[in-house]
Amino acid sequence: MMDSQHSAASDTSAFGRSSAGPLSGIVIADFGRVLAGPYCTMLLADLGATVIKIESPSGDETRAWRPPTRGDDSTYFLSINRNKTSIKLDLRDPDDRRTAQRIAERADVVVENFKPGDLVRYGLDYDTVSATNKDVVYASITGFGTTGGAQLPGYDLLIQALSGLMDLTGAPDTEPFRSGIAVFDVITGLHACIGILAALRHRDRIGEGQLVEMNLMSSALSGMVNQTAAVVLGGVVPKRLGNEHPSIYPYEPFDTGDGKLVIAIGNDSQYRTFCAAIGRPELAVDPRFEKAPLRSANRTELRLLLLECLATRTAKEWFDILTEAKLPCAPIQDLRAGIEFAEKIGLEPVVTVGQGEDSQPGVRNPIRLSKTPVSYDLTPPDLDSGAELVRAWLGADEQLLAAAMAATSTPSHREEH
């Protein structure tokens, strides 16, 4: 169900989207900055949505996060802002503020990750926007929610520290480490996508919008799954184990004759196959190791026996032997090698974004749809490069809306029979 306002707003052909994707015609007003919000809106844009990226006069902070760069552009910014149209608006300026409000009034979805309450003064908070845009799906991303933690700055590194992730990351004899990526920004962005899609489905069924709220702290606690459950369900506080798994063994990198190989044995059947493949079948029936809980409890003894055996061949030789036995194992590679491996097995991880001379490589959206594939129409925008398009769309949209309202308000002269 869609009212005349969003019927008018759905004409987005001027924005250069060729997609017939599942979200084609959906307009997203993207007030997000840095990572969680922009990552969410890029995924939705890949699925066909038209995303209008509203930026401050200085632009999204990640435009300045360099090196590394591609030309003069931050690869950080480029990684999460394709398929979007940029307009620069100073919300402190009355005219720019009104333009931002008009975009929000016309949008199907609004995404923002300002501090709680910051957008109230600009008339861009949920209550104000939904008063004129009744069926808007308004997604708000914060660091710590809107109650006791509302005024805490919501940076991913802080969440990693406060949530307990850093305390879990590293070896028992090292200091805590952050993850190699802003993992909770990414998880929260994914949670935001799920919430937005669920709210759009509800709008299709019922005809009403709603507020969708996410915060990094809650996403962190959810995203740590079994580790969080150890506390909540088991009363146990997990500790740093380096590359070991708290519940499964062997499940870590092992030294071989010339390097490390990750071996991940997830069940008793795999363990028996593994023992046979490395030439130590007696370890499969050793009463200390034959069941998964026993292997976890006696991992120190088992590790010494496995290292003795694995030292007899190279990592490449063991990889070939264990892979032939259909056992999960992998060398530890850098990112370039990871991309090359994905190419080797046919995953096509690198796509072309945009057209012609201005096109550039990008990382494939991982979602594959058989009927409505994702698209990569637009390279990440220069700051304010879409301002004229957005203003023209607003003007045309208002004309369409006026015409639609006039048509619906014209009395019918058809006689009832």
Active site residues: 185
Pairing of strands 137-142, 210-215: parallel
Closest C-alpha among 52, 125, 58, 122 to residue 394: 52
Closest C-alpha among 21, 29, 26, 80 to residue 48: 21
**What's the first-to-final CA gap in the chain, in angstroms?**
29
Region of 134 please: left (phi>0), alpha (psi -120 to 50) or beta: alpha
Does the N-terminal peptide bond of residue 250 adopt cis geometry, omega within 30 degrees of 0?
yes
Could you identify the residue written with the tokens 């990414």?
A: 186
Give the CA angle between residues 394, 96, 115 to the nearest 5°.
110
Contact 45, 83 (CB under 8 A): yes
Amino acid at 234: G
Alpha-carbon distance 351 to 363, whole Å?
Answer: 6
